Each structure stands twice: as C-alpha cells, then as structure tokens.
C-alpha cells in the first residue's frame, strides 16, 4: 500500500493523465491518505462542485487518522528538519504517517521528504 501525497491527488483532480491512470489502474484500495492530506484538499476547494469531486475521489482510499504515534514521530522529524529544510507541519505529519504504518510515500515533491531517514519515498507514477 502507498500513502499518496496531496499533490498526486491534486493532479488527479486537475485531469492529469499520469495521475489518473496510476490511481485507476492500481485501484483506490491500494492507496492511503491521512487526515492532513484530506484537510489540505478541502482547504483548496473553491466551490461545492470541487468539494463533491474531492469527496468522490477520496471514497475508496484507506484513511489513517492522526494518533499519538504519528504525533510523536512528526515532532521528532520536525525537530530534526524544521531549520535545515523548512519542513512544514503538514509534511512532517504526512511523513510520520508513512513511517508509523511502514508505507511508501508517493509524492511529486521529493525534495520535501528525501532527507528523512528510513522514509520510503518515490515520485514515480507506475
């Protein structure tokens, strides 16, 4: 199972063929999102139609809620990389989710995550 970063889902919603084929070929049940990713998508909504599209897209993905283990891991990551890499709280929580559940993170922005040891991260859509 892969944890999808918000940018992959945004590409899907924008109709980018690579993201659409990647998700549809593998099936939503092979992918996960977390609460932060869902909130980032909702935050980008401009109207009810977009909100409906997001809800429809998210239906079928595995969802991981935030918990104490993710919070503690995110704090350790944040402490290590906030200054050197300007790591955001959202990215720390996304990376922590992948680490806690031993998932590979799939993202279009490798630079946001590549410095985190033990994090399996890739930008391929295959």
At 90, which CATH number? Answer: 3.40.50.1010
- What pLDDT does residue 20 have? 97
Residues 6+ apart with CB under 8 A from 67: 100
Mean pLDDT for 45-71 is: 97
Q: How many domains does the chain have?
A: 1
pLDDT of residue 84: 85
Long-range contacts, 86-95 (Cβ 8 Å, 24+): 87/112, 88/112, 90/36, 90/40, 93/34, 93/36, 93/66, 94/3, 94/5, 94/6, 94/34, 94/36, 94/37, 95/119
Domain around 92: 2-122
pTM over 0.85, yes/no = yes
């Amino acid at each position: 199972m892969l944890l999808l970063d918000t940018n992959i889902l945004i590409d899907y919603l924008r109709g980018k063929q690579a993201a659409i084929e990647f998700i549809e070929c593998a099936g939503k049940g092979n992918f996960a999102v977390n609460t932060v990713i869902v909130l980032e998508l909702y935050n980008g909504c401009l109207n009810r139609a977009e909100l409906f599209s997001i809800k429809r897209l998210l239906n079928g993905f595995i969802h991981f809620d935030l918990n104490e283990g993710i919070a503690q891991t995110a704090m350790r990551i944040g402490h290590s990389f906030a200054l050197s890499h300007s790591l955001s709280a959202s990215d720390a929580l996304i990376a922590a989710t992948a680490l806690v559940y031993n998932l590979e993170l799939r993202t279009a922005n490798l630079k946001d995550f590549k410095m985190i040891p033990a994090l399996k991260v890739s930008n391929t859509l295959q």
